[in-house]
Amino acid sequence: MSAQKKFTNVTVTSLRKMKEAGEKIASLTSYDSSFTRVMNDEGVDIVLVGDSLGMVVQGRQTTIPVTVDNIVYHSKAVRSTCKRPLLMVDMPFMSYHSTDKAIESAMQLMQKGHGQMVKLEGGQTEVKIVRKLSREGVPVCAHIGLQPQLVHKLGGYKVQGRDEQQAREMLDDAHKLQDAGADVMLLECVPSPLAAKITESLEIPVIGIGAGPQCDGQILVLHDILGLTPKAPKFSKDFLLENGTIHKAIRAYVEQVKDGSFPSAEQSFAE
Ligand code: KIV
């Protein structure tokens, strides 16, 4: 990586430019200052303080118990060493069930947690909230496909968009969220051909997790790439096992996302 690129801060504008230039966006979750320092130094573009912290840090079964205060606590720690990457923070379960609540939560996450972009799960139902946040100057990442906060409604963590109608609805949702002002789209557990179609048809960058290699970028959960998750998901890979140190593991992840070798078919859903 050139010195210039390494030290230019990542912004909403540079993410768009990366999409236009065909440069892949490498993202990881982080919850503390030490791991974030490594990510900062190894060229990660977006660091997400995800509500996955409920599972990988707090030891809960789902992301549902996570609160805005939890995200703020971890985001403050991440902020201290997150210099170049864009700091994205999750809006936890029920922190955006109304427009007023969403504004209040985003205010906490940005003013106290120092987040630079909020991520929220949901399709059509969230269009009004995305529009309001966007008009108030809050950068938004819309998270569609598998939405872990709906785990009890879905009856488990399953690939989404496999049937034609679901696929059509997902594409339509993606466009409505973009039109409402979303700056980034995140696709979780979506068949690769559908993810490729959504990525190609949107102007905003699309980051995938279990969504195949044709997205504009990738994101994984830190604990999965370090082999700490007892039953790692199919779409992840243990980069520590292959590379020996945490620095090298994170560097290899960034390199493989950038050169398009991660994810391979093995970590993707063909249909
Ligand atoms: O909370 C999280 O870690 C996430 C990723 C799965 C993208 O939302």
Query: What architecture does CATH give domain 12-267?
Result: Alpha-Beta Barrel (3.20)
Please say whether the beta carbons of 107 and 147 come within 8 A.
no
- Whole-prediction pTM value? 0.96
Tokens of 31: 């919850």
* Ligand 1 centroid to residue 225 C-alpha, Å: 13
Tokens of 6: 């390494």
pLDDT in tens, the chain (271 residues): 444 455 589 999 999 999 999 999 999 999 999 999 999 999 999 999 999 999 999 999 999 999 999 999 999 999 999 999 999 999 999 999 999 999 999 999 999 999 999 999 999 999 999 999 999 999 999 999 999 999 999 999 999 999 999 999 999 999 999 999 999 999 999 999 999 999 999 999 999 999 999 999 999 999 999 999 998 999 999 999 999 999 999 999 999 999 999 999 999 999 7
Asked whether 221 lines ligand 1 (CB < 6 A), one says yes
* Ligand 1 centroid to residue 234 C-alpha, Å: 15
Q: How far is CA 254 from CA 25, 74, 104, 145, 198, in A?
A: 9, 23, 34, 24, 23
| Secondary structure of 204-234 as H, E, C letters | CCEEEECCCCCCCEEEECHHHHCCCCCCCCC
User: What pLDDT shows up at residue 6?
Assistant: 56
Asked whether 53 lines ligand 1 (CB < 6 A), one says no
Q: Report the distance separating Cα 189 and Cα 191, nearest Å.
A: 7
Q: Which residues participate in catalysis according to the annotation?
A: 188
Please say whether the beta carbons of 141 and 186 come within 8 A.
yes
